[in-house]
Structure 1
Amino acid sequence: MCRRGLLFAALLCVTIVLLPAGSAVARPADLTTTEVSFVGAGGVELHGTLVAPPSRGTTELHPGLVMLPGAGPGERAELRTAAEAYARHGVVTLIYDKRTTGYSMVHRDYSVLADDALAAFRLLQKRPDVDRGKVGLWGLSEGAWSASLAASRSADVAFLITAGAVGLTPARQQAWAYGEFLRHHRVSGSLTDTMQDTATRQLVGAGLFPEADYNPVPAWERVHQPVLALWGVLDHEAAPAESAQIIRKALARGGNTHYTIRFVPAVRHNLNLSEDDGFDRPSALPADYADFESSWIQRLSDGGGLPPVSVGPAPQQDRLSQALAPLAWYESPWLQLVAISLFVVGFAGYPLVGAVRKLRGDRHPAPLGWSARWLAGAGLAASVGTLGYLLFCVITAANIIGPVLLGRTVPWLALQGLAVAAVVAAVCTAVTWRRSRPVLSRSERARLGLLLTAGAVFVPWAVQWGLLLP
């Protein structure tokens, strides 16, 4: 989930560049909107929009709702349509831009985001048209982690609504989601294992997966307010059946008996409609969006009983998530960095030294011929290309992976072919080097020794990353 931050950031930058100066979101004629600002955790100023039912000159008080977006930059526009749907059902709704200070692709703190949510909550409570005793929180995906944490900290929060909440740690959830999207694209074999295991664990070990081990269960155990937890039946990101069970059990252990679990048909992770079994990313909401939720809020306002209940059949989750093992010593980020550095120096250095020699007028051909050149080229392309391709898959949440052939993506097949070529070339180079060693100069032996060392290290590295596995 956090795992798409770079993509969201890139799209945000493009949007800012292309958006005309002074443009604004159109205000719906049937609602009233108010621009607001408030101070979040650490003194950071945050900006938002209040969307409310039209004023009819009465003293009627409405319930209130603060909405928290999912992972990524989290501009308020992402939730604008949903907020308007709630407002049309009589709920004054506050949406706000997520902080940029202390939140990035590689750093975030759900505790800080929870404090931001409570600051927004207090602002909404002060509205003259809001019943301060009937203000709740709403959180989507990553926002559900922060919203549940905020609700556990303040008894003033009247209720909690979540969409696509995850009961797993972020790293475990993201690894599961990689598998869902890759299998949807009919990918099998080593790329799936690499994305779900090696790549995810390396990101965690390198500190590039923020809040990777955050455990949401203790916060849910401390949530005593009425809870409405929603999951799309077509959710392939939150491990919905598994997460629903975890959250249900956590609420029960904490003594909370006022919760509703609802599985919404025909919608994906963010409760938007889907035309591809939940694997596409449309922005359209169902026509009845917020009907059930506003009715549920109204029952709270009327003092109706809310015994534990489950609405709709749970999604079919074919595969359970798997716990991620800690990195072994030979998988440490530092050794990975050493290996990549060796590949760059050893593989790239061989042709570079040759080019320099030619510029100096040395026209003597290299005694090892084609095999050394193949090792240098294929080894460098396979190692650097693998890291680049896997990083791209991480940024796009394994949703943009390239064409698929014989159960493998074409880029992955190409990388595997390069890896095999590098291994074959390494063997041929080693054999030729042994035969030609007596006639090699000292500098040439050093040059080839570095190349062969890089080739020897490349073999176990390629096995670890799945390049030499089926």
Structure 2
Amino acid sequence: MLLVWMLPGVQAAEQPSEWTEAAVQFTSEGLTLNGTLLLPDTPGPHPAVVLVHGSNSVNREKYRGEAELFARAGIAALIYDKRKDGFASSRSGGRSYDLLAADAGAAVEALRTHPRLNPEHIGLWGISEGAWVASLTASRSDRADFLITVGASGVAPVRQQSWQLVNRLQGQGVSSPGVVEALSDRALRLAVSAGMFAEADYNPLPAFEGVKQPVLAIWGRQDRIEPPLESYRLLKQALEKKSESASYRFFDRAGHNLRSAPDGVQQTEEFPAGYADTMTSWVKHVTSGQASGPQTAGDVPQQGHLSKPGLHTIAWYQTAWAQLGTMLVLVVLFLGCWMAFLRRSRRLRREGAASRGTGPRFGTGGLAAGSGLLTVLGFTVYFGWLMSSGAKHVAPIVGDRPLVWLLLQLLAVITCGAAAVYAFSLRKGSGTGTRMCNGLLLGGVVLFAAWAAYWQLFSL
């Protein structure tokens, strides 16, 4: 059952006089959601827009700036708190676009009962991931009168995330193909396999194909988070199947969130010139029954590289079980061998044994085990930190790769080189040890070499 409460007079101390604010509550799928309606002071009934969150936002105040753009132009705007369970962190938890779309639909229904709003002209505005949610809502019901998308991606989430990671790494000076491949491809396959990337292969195009309402799709030309050129082409093709009025607008010197960003990376809090007028005039045009046919305004953006398909296809050796299991086995093997070599070395020193002893010495065998252990543990810590931080800070950079990555590569080479020298000494009959220790070490190094090669630790 839908519940709505409007509490007039809930205003900020310095709120401009162009609008008033009212608290709103509505229920969706058994959960009560709270919001704020910005209602123009001019005579109604007003058209209204529901603002739908992107992936990294939960609190309604995140989109107050956009809501005020609409309210100032005589268009009511609802901002609401996003459900938190499973949705507070980007790409994690029990994320469900179906559930988020239900919330947006419930918000539309809530506004349709307000006496000062025109129930036939309640639309949706969605940014980034919110564009997918809003399009899903619009495709399922004609209760929403129009749709505005900002920074909508036309490719699956995991494909979009990979494209973003490539840009983020290159923006920090990382151009090594091996490092970029490891972090923007293989790391994401691991995350998908481990269930850490909810809705990873969601296809946004069927929802857009089902949208019949007028649509305004907006992108920043300097967007480095989702591929704007690919998205424009894909969404345009999808929307033209049913929507008779779709407009596309590009803003120069603007980033993903349509804030001013000359380089597409560092975004300010300012909206690009013409952004507010483009949206508000379009809404007034549409709600007055003057919707026009498809049109594109602004220079179409360029992309330095295309997004990578097929990331949701995962071979057995790319799965989380295979990779994490391999690293665990390597840690146990190398740690055990290193301790065996260390104990034998200490024993021989205590006994004053000759250089040609009968057990394993620390020497090259111990070096191989120790450097292999450091490589696996160091990679696990560094890799985990990069993934949890989104690879936003990889400095310092040496040449074309991070210094830490270069050190891991050096350790990997030392591991394999020391093992090769030790294996050669066994063939000569010097430094012989127990068969079990030698077999475990050399077998572990073979497994290590395959693992390190997969993660591009031998790439130049």
Same fold, judged at TM 0.5 (above): yes
Map of 1:342 onto structure 2: 329
Is residue 55 of structure 2 the alignment partner of residue 83 of structure 1? no
Unaligned runs of 5+ in 1: 1-23
Is 1:311 aligned with 2:304?
Answer: no
Pairing partner for 2:119 from 128, 132, 141: 132
Q: What's the counterpart of residue 149 of structure 2? A: 162
Equivalent residue, structure 1, for 2:51: 67
Contact kept, 8 Å, 1:137 with 1:147, in 2: the verdict is yes
CA deviation after TM superposition for structure 1 residue 398, in Å: 3.2
Which residue does 1:232 correspond to in 2? 220
Paired residues of 1:52 and 1:87 also in contact (CA < 8 A): yes
Equivalent pair of 2:345/2:362 in contact (CA under 8 Å): no
1:180 corresponding residue in structure 2: 167
| Offset of residue 363 of structure 1 | 4.8
- Tell me the distance in 1 between the aligned counterparts of 2:361 and 2:347: 20
Alpha carbons of structure 1 residues 362 and 72: separation in structure 2 relative to 1, 3 Å = farther
**Aligned partner of 1:188: which letter?**
S
* 1:179 maps to amino acid: V
Looking at structure 2, the residues matched to 99 and 436 of structure 1 have their Cα atoms a distance apart, in angstroms, of 68
Deviation at 1:425, TM superposition (A): 2.1
Answer yes or no: is the 8 Å Cα contact 2:342–2:366 preserved in 1: no
One-letter code of the match for 1:398?
A
C-alpha contact 1:346 1:453 (8 A) present in aligned 2: no
| Residue pair 1:44, 1:101 contacting (<8 A) in 2 also | no
Once residues 198 and 407 of structure 1 are traced to their aligned partners in structure 2, the CA distance between those partners, rounded to angstroms, is: 19
Change (3 A) 1:177 1:26: farther
Measure, in 2, the Cα distance between the counterparts of 1:431 and 1:209.
Answer: 45
Residues 310-389 of structure 1 aligned to structure 2 (within 5 Å): 310-324=296-310, 326-352=313-339, 363=350, 367-389=360-382
The CA distance in 2 between the partners of 1:437 and 1:34, in whole Å, is 85
SS of 1:290 mapped into structure 2: helix
* TM-aligned CA deviation for residue 360 of structure 1: 11
Match of 1:37 in 2: 25
| TM-superposed deviation, 1:387 | 3.5
Give the deviation of 1:361 after TM superposition: 12
The aligned counterpart of 2:418 is: 425
Give the conservation status (yes or no) of the 8 Å contact 2:342–2:361.
no
Equivalent pair of 2:189/2:319 in contact (CA under 8 Å)? no
Q: d(CA) in 2 for partners of 1:98 and 1:467?
A: 41
- Contact 1:197–1:324, Cα closer than 8 Å, also in 2: no
TM-score, with structure 1 as normaliser: 0.86
CA deviation map 1:359-393 (0-9, x unaligned): 99995697332323332332223223324333333
Deviates more, 1:254-263 or 1:331-340: 331-340
Amino acid across the alignment from 2:22: T
Separation of aligned partners in 2, 1:353 and 1:46: 61
Query: 1:9 is matched with which residue?
Result: none
Shift of 1:123: 1.5
8 Å Cα contact 1:80/1:95 also seen in 2: yes
1:191 to 162, 167, 179: 179
Residue 55 of structure 2 aligns to a residue in which SS? Answer: coil
1:28 aligns to 2:15 (yes or no): yes
Secondary structure of the equivalent of 2:137?
helix
Deviation at 1:205, TM superposition (A): 2.3
How many aligned positions are there? 438
What is the aligned-residue RMSD (CA, Å)? Answer: 2.6
Q: What SS does structure 2 have at the residue aligned with 1:137? A: strand
The separation in 1 between residues aligned to 2:125 and 2:221, in whole angstroms, is 19
Aligned mates of 2:282, 2:248 — CA distance in 1: 12
Q: Distance in 2 between matches of 1:338 and 1:230?
A: 45
CA 1:161–1:447: 2 relative to 1, 3 Å: same
1:228–1:260 CA contact under 8 A, matched in 2? yes
Cα distance, 1:337–1:290 mapped onto 2, change above 3 Å = same
Report the Cα offset of residue 327 of structure 1.
2.2
* Cα distance in structure 1, aligned partners of 2:347 and 2:47: 80
* Displacement after TM superposition at 1:340 (Å): 1.0
Letter in 2 for 1:309: Q
Q: Secondary structure of 2:22's match? A: strand
- SS at 2:148's partner residue? strand
The one-letter amino acid of 1:224's match is: K
Distance 1:439 1:62, change over 3 A: same
Match of 1:446 in 2: 436
Confirm or deny: 8 A CA contact 1:67 1:79 kept in the other structure.
Answer: yes
Aligned residue for 1:315, secondary structure, equals: coil
Give the SS at the match of 1:77. Answer: helix
Residue 277 (structure 2) aligns with: 291
- The change in CA–CA distance for 1:446 and 1:82 in structure 2 (over 3 A counts) is same
Q: Who is 1:392 aligned against?
A: 385
Residue segments in structure 2 that go unaligned for 5+ positions in a row? 1-10, 354-358
Q: State the TM-score, normalized to the length of structure 2.
A: 0.88
State which of 243, 248, 251 in structure 1 corresponds to 2:231.
Answer: 243
Distance 1:34 1:380, change over 3 A: farther
Further displaced range: 356-365 or 261-270: 356-365
Q: Which residue of 1 aligns with 2:399?
A: 406
Aligned to 2:408: 415
Q: 1:77 to 1:369 in 2, by over 3 A?
A: same
Residues 410-467 of structure 1: CA distance to partner in whole angstroms, max 9, x if unpaired?
22212211211221122233334555688635xxx43454333322211011111111
SS at match of 1:321: coil
Contact 1:182 1:188 (C-alpha < 8 Å) held by counterparts? yes
1:276-322 Cα distance to aligned partner (Å, 9 max, x none): x1012433333544211000000012211321000101111122222
Answer with 1 or 2: which has the greater Rg: 2
1:459 is matched with 449
Take 2:394 and 2:293, find their aligned partners in 1: how far apart are those partners? 45
CA distance in structure 2 between the partners assigned to 1:126 and 1:429 by the alignment: 80
Does the C-alpha gap of structure 1 residues 422 and 439 become closer, same or farther in structure 2, counting only changes over 3 Å? closer
Mean Cα displacement is larger for which, 329-338 or 415-424?
329-338
Paired amino acid for 2:70: Y
Deviation of 1:272 after TM superposition, in Å, equals 0.8
Preserved contact between residue 346 and residue 454 of structure 1 (Cα < 8 Å)? yes
